[in-house]
Structure 1
Amino acid sequence: MLVGKAGKRGRRSSIWRGVPRWARICTVFGTVLTMLSGAVLVGTEVLMARYEGAVGKADLFGDQSAGAAQPRKSDIKGPLNILLVGIDPRTPTAVPLADSIMVLHVPADMDRAYLFSLPRDLVVDIPEFTPANFDGRTDKLNAAMSHGSRIPGENPNAARGFELLATTVQNVTGIKRFDAGAIINFTGFQKIVDAMGGVDMYVERDVKSEHKKPDGTARPGNPGGEGYIGPQAVYPKGNHHLSGWQALDYVRQRYPKNGVPDADYGRQRHQQQFVKAMVGQAFSADVVANPLKLDKVLRAAGQSLIFSGRGHSVVDFGIALKNIRPDTIQMVKLAGGPIYNGSRYKGEQFQPGVTDFFTALHNEQLDPFLLEHPEFVNKSK
């Protein structure tokens, strides 16, 4: 966690005086947690209203079309399950694919959280979805968002795609209902990190970029071949202070040839580490005690997020999750392995034991489960 200069603590702006801690610090939904990554909402009602106004809203779960009743503002109680989906949209007419699928589970006490990723190539049964005239099929998990987004006569609708993805994830995990959800634009993360002044991350092994040159520009494609050519950005093992493009580039890498031997599972781990690093940076004095920087962070986060609290606002959730801090977020890895049809790669499947993890989640027994099964714990370093 970065620490602001000592002198800044004594010169905190007068706008913070008299503002209670719960109103100064809240989790930026998506835990931009990414998420989407938990961050902070500091400030007066003006800042809170500005952030709330900047966040995109959508009916991510189909509640409005189903005529669901609106909840009371004070009834956010644990346990909670929150679906966070990262996308990397190319054009308004391109169907969205879920590049990152994470679930944040908050136990009944709401003083800690568990963050786990689902492999985007997980082979699943995607149910039928009438709004998109989709009949259902067996496919990779990230395709659910694509299938659900294809609304006849319209540009692809990411919110509708999220609805089908959420239903599919519920079927896979046994989670009966998500309490909130967010779509995070990965490109927007770069703006958030830059607004915070960068992010501190530990790079666990030497990694080379598949996509970027050392100066951050794109590597050109290889004419007549696969992949990219030219010099590569390099992230040596050790502690680094990464700019926005560097952080985003690092967490995208997933090929063994580039230094990620466990492929997409390694990328999931790096994304979770990135989320936790952003949480720490957002709570640092350098951001919390700097109204101008904080305002930039909030605006960048709002512009990168589409949120549904199923009747609750992002600020409501921020206040409800006020006790969660970086050291109370447990990152979880769900082991899987490839499926082949002969030599042809078909996707991923969970290894035995993951079903037991989901059972422990439903029974609020994750702490004893992880003590008994340390192989499910994803380390920060």
Structure 2
Amino acid sequence: MVGDTGKGGARRKRSALPRWARWCTALGAALMLISGVVLVGAEALLARYAGAVRSDDLFDDTGKQEARSDITGPLNLLLVGIDPRASSPNTPPLADSVLILHVTPSMEQAYLFSMPRDLIVEIPRFDKANFPGGSDRINSAMAYGSKVPGQDKPDPARGFALLAKTVSQRTGIARFDAGAIINFTGFQKIVDAMGGVTMYIDGDVKSEHREPDGRHRRGNPAGEGYIGPQAEYKKGTRHLEGWQALDYVRQRKTLPDSDYGRQRHQQQFVKAMVNQAFSRDVVTNPFKLDSVLRAAGQSVIFDGHGHTVAEFGFALRNIRSSSIVMMKLPGESIMNGSDYQGERLQPLAEEFFAALRGGSVETFVVSHPELLNQEK
């Protein structure tokens, strides 16, 4: 097990650059899929923008699974964020964010949860990338799968396919009804096009990475972190510009509950973005709406097993932020002495997966309110 660096040639060193999109980039995909046709009020208009979305075989199942004749619940959607860098186009991408949206049979309630990016899992064999399989962190599955034998440039769609197989194997979810990849650059364009986002800050947070004016803090020559003034986010309802929102939800080291707090903030951000998308400021402003949808359309790689983004948007038209239940999977760190190895899930998470597969997730969550990711 080699963790973030991977094995089998899929090595990636930790970068000194800000890790903006490791987990928040998939939120743009969630916005695209959850908001759907309600943004524009007509399926035909959304289809105009959906045509700009790149479609690909994200599940490596072309010709193997037929699309449903219609889109009905329950549904499971896999949303993945990656952070491709223009300066390093041949670096295999890690899955910096892995979110699952489970929609109940009524199509009016959804459960959103994150798979810890450091979760130790068994990654299955994947012949297309000459990957033999093995144990590693779940985010490495995309890096392994994206390798294309005989060429330097990775293929994120292949990487998604291996990641989807890995997540299916770990959770027992046999089929994902749709999947999407979104990159950080595109996500920031979506936030900026919306004019920022209003969300509740559940506790005072200082930024590790940004100064109050948005500039990046300087690295400490002694190698102990960053130096300079810090941007601050005070508890309460705040309207955040794009860079502020992204900076806030990427904080981990400054939170008392570390990565679990960061996951909670990510999910709160999804709901805030949905609220913003449904606001009159966006829906009734044709110029802003056009910018938001174009930004989303240019940033997403989508696979709906034969169904388009527009069709999924229409099917999910009754989902609102108030009907999205944010979940947290209970886990713990794996340590070898003082050396951090990764994360593992606790038994209650396995019970949650079983309830999800068995169609009893709503009853299960009522019995286990401790799994809810609530504002503090």
Give the TM-score normalised by the residue count of structure 1: 0.87
Q: How many Å apart are 1:154 and its aligned residue?
A: 3.5
What residue is the counterpart of 2:242 in the other structure? Answer: 244
What residue is the counterpart of 1:167 in the other structure? Answer: 165
Q: What value does the CA root-mean-square deviation take over the aligned residues?
A: 1.7
What residue is the counterpart of 2:270 in the other structure? Answer: 275
Q: How far apart are the structure 2 equivalents of 1:188 and 1:332?
A: 26
What residue is the counterpart of 1:16 in the other structure? Answer: none
The answer to whether the 8 Å contact 1:36/1:275 transfers is no
Q: How many Å apart are 1:228 and its aligned residue?
A: 2.0
What residue is the counterpart of 2:141 in the other structure? Answer: 144
The answer to whether the 8 Å contact 2:211/2:217 transfers is yes
The answer to whether the 8 Å contact 1:211/1:219 transfers is yes
The answer to whether the 8 Å contact 2:53/2:298 transfers is yes
SS at match of 1:32: helix
Task: Could you tell me which runs of 5 or more consecutive residues in structure 1 were left unpaired when the two chains were aligned.
Answer: 1-29
SS at match of 1:246: helix
What residue is the counterpart of 1:331 in the other structure? Answer: 326
Q: How far apart are the structure 2 equivalents of 1:186 and 1:94?
A: 16
What residue is the counterpart of 1:83 in the other structure? Answer: 78
What residue is the counterpart of 2:156 in the other structure? Answer: 158
What residue is the counterpart of 2:8 in the other structure? Answer: none
Q: Which 10-residue stretch deviates more, 217-226 or 308-317?
A: 217-226
Q: How far apart are the structure 2 equivalents of 1:378 and 1:69?
A: 34
Q: How many Å apart are 1:106 and its aligned residue?
A: 0.7
Structure 1 residue aligned with 2:64, among 51, 64, 68?
A: 68
Q: How far apart are the structure 2 equivalents of 1:36 and 1:75?
A: 19
The answer to whether the 8 Å contact 1:36/1:84 transfers is no
What residue is the counterpart of 1:188 in the other structure? Answer: 186
- Kindly indicate whether residue 350 of structure 2 is the aligned counterpart of residue 352 of structure 1: no
- Kindly indicate whether residue 217 of structure 2 is the aligned counterpart of residue 215 of structure 1: no
Q: Evaluate the alpha carbon distance shift between residue 268 and residue 217 of structure 1 in structure 2; reply closer, same or farther with a 3 A threshold.
A: same
What residue is the counterpart of 1:105 in the other structure? Answer: 102
Identity %: 62
Q: How many residues align?
A: 346
Q: How far apart are the structure 1 equivalents of 2:259 and 2:32?
A: 19
Q: How far apart are the structure 2 equivalents of 1:47 and 1:209?
A: 40
Q: Evaluate the alpha carbon distance shift between residue 230 and residue 34 of structure 1 in structure 2; reply closer, same or farther with a 3 A threshold.
A: farther
Amino acid at match of 1:68: K
Q: How many Å apart are 1:71 and its aligned residue?
A: 2.6
Q: Evaluate the alpha carbon distance shift between residue 80 and residue 362 of structure 1 in structure 2; reply closer, same or farther with a 3 A threshold.
A: same
- Kindly indicate whether residue 34 of structure 2 is the aligned counterpart of residue 38 of structure 1: yes
Q: Evaluate the alpha carbon distance shift between residue 34 and residue 218 of structure 1 in structure 2; reply closer, same or farther with a 3 A threshold.
A: farther
Q: How many Å apart are 1:220 and its aligned residue?
A: 2.3
What residue is the counterpart of 1:96 in the other structure? Answer: 93
Q: Evaluate the alpha carbon distance shift between residue 101 and residue 36 of structure 1 in structure 2; reply closer, same or farther with a 3 A threshold.
A: farther
Q: How far apart are the structure 2 equivalents of 1:45 and 1:328?
A: 22
Q: How many Å apart are 1:39 and its aligned residue?
A: 2.4
The answer to whether the 8 Å contact 1:189/1:248 transfers is no
Q: Evaluate the alpha carbon distance shift between residue 321 and residue 199 of structure 1 in structure 2; reply closer, same or farther with a 3 A threshold.
A: same
Task: Could you tell me which runs of 5 or more consecutive residues in structure 2 were left unpaired when the two chains were aligned.
Answer: 1-25
